[in-house]
Chain A
Amino acid sequence: MAPAISLRSAVALSGGFPVLAGVDLDLDAGQVLALLGSNGAGKTSLLRLLAGLLPLRSGEAVVLGCELPDGAAELRRQVGLAGHDPGLYEELDARENLRFALRAARLDPAGADAALERVGLEGRAVATPLGLLSEGQRRRVALAWLAARRPALWLLDEPHAGLDASTRHLVGELCNEAARGGAVVVLSSHEPELAVSLADTVVTMGGGAVIDTSRGRRDAAGVTDVA
């Protein structure tokens, strides 16, 4: 069976600069990959390439059966990306944001409440405009969107940054659930211990390329304790 993600000498530019300088990567469905590396190493750029948001300049990239760059539009429909900025609408509350996103993705908007409950957002927090929520609560809304959408490819850009212990634990649970359901999870992190405990494979990046690959300690059968 072909890997869910297959990159060969993938190069991508941003503003004329090479942000990915020949990345090779293979990942199967149901796996969790952690990306490590210093700032500017290319982690976020790789996530954006995998989301079909950053054009492939040269090399080969096949993600979820979509050949990039031509299949980018088709790929995006299968991808969920939670970045530093959740990319949601500040003026709408959590429920309105989720219902809009679910309708746009042609899913049942009724799933919004269950997803918000799943990430521990209830009561007033659900009906408060996103702009008035704390950073952690906004991150929870972004996670709720992923949980509701259940994409085939989860891309999480530093999902643990600035979060409390319970939300970190929630990130781990959701990653495991998604992988057990057959999705591919790729997350970037500046916390090696945490990332290694969550992942099957750990890739260290530097200068826009993969400089090291090692095995993670994820227990696919159970929920990894990341708190």
Chain B
Amino acid sequence: MWRDALLVAGRDLRIELRTRVGLWQVLPFALLTLLLFAFALGPKPGLLAEAAPGLFWLSILLSVVLAAQRSIAVEGTRATREGSRLLGLDPAGIFLGKMLALLVEVLLLEAVLLVGVLIVFHVLVTAWATLIASCVLAAIGLCAASILYGSLAGEARIRATLLPVLLLPITAPVLIAGAKAFDASVVTGSGSGARWLGILAVFALVYTALGIVLYGPLEES
């Protein structure tokens, strides 16, 4: 399984490096979303800092949908998906490989967006460990759920509109827990982030396990 996962992850990352969709489309989209939120709230530093956790995660969530669309489009045609099945690749390995490649992209996206939030929203972080842990756990959960629901969304002609409808509602726990953990990590925040990290960890575990088990049957169907 892990051998196949690394093979698939390497292929997806190679394709991403060649096409640079993440760099030229997903990343600008994420930064633009963040800036537009800032414009909508107006030049009030207190309000911006207060809204930063929610807006950061909302931007991440919307951008992950785009990145996931792209990741799934690599296997877009029926012939390509059937080709993978004829290669004898372990479906769980394909799922994990696609998830790993997407995870690399999402972690980079989070890093850049976090710098953007710190600058634009005037946020001061006091608990870096909590913030980084929440970013990593949320990214794992989001990537697992995206690849799983992307497979469920099926062929390209309906996937573009179906994936956000399927994915965004179920990622509400990530949005809430991620925002709360972020809030607990900044100087103006309150409370402990441990509880929220626990929720993110459970989400990541559940969707990774579901993906490993269900990706094969979904592709078969």
Instruction: Name A residues whose Cβ lies closer than 8 Å to a Cβ of B.
Output: 48, 51, 53, 76-77, 79-81, 83-89, 91-92, 96, 100-101, 103-106, 129
- Tell me whether A92 and B88 are in contact (CB under 8 A): no
Task: Flag if B82 contacts A87 (CB, 8 Å).
Answer: yes
A104 to B84, CA, bound (A): 9
Residues of chain B at the chain A interface (Cβ within 8 Å): 4, 7, 11, 14-15, 18-19, 74, 77-80, 82-89
B19 touches A87 (CB 8 A): no
Which residues does chain B contribute within 8 Å of A106, judged by CB atoms?
Answer: 88
| A4 CA / B14 CA spacing, docked (Å) | 39
Q: How far is the CB of A148 from chain B (nearest CB, A)?
A: 12
- CB-CB under 8 A from A105, the residues of chain B are 87-88
A86 to B78, CA, bound (A): 10
Q: Give the A-B pair count, Cβ closer than 8 A.
A: 58
Distance between Cα atoms of A123 and B112 in the complex (Å)? 40
B131 to chain A, nearest CB (A): 34
* Minimum C-beta distance from A145 to chain B (A): 9
B74 touches A104 (CB 8 A): no
Instruction: Name the contact of A104 in the complex, choosing from B15, B19, B78, B89 (C-beta under 8 A).
Output: B89
Q: Which chain A residue shows the least CB distance to B94?
A: A104
What are the residues of chain B within 8 A of A79 when measuring CB–CB?
A: 86
**Distance from A74 Cβ to chain B, minimum over Cβ atoms (Å):** 9
**Pick from B4, B7, B14, B85: contact of A92, CB under 8 Å:** B14
| Most chain B CB within a 10 A radius of its CB, from A76, A96, A104 | A104
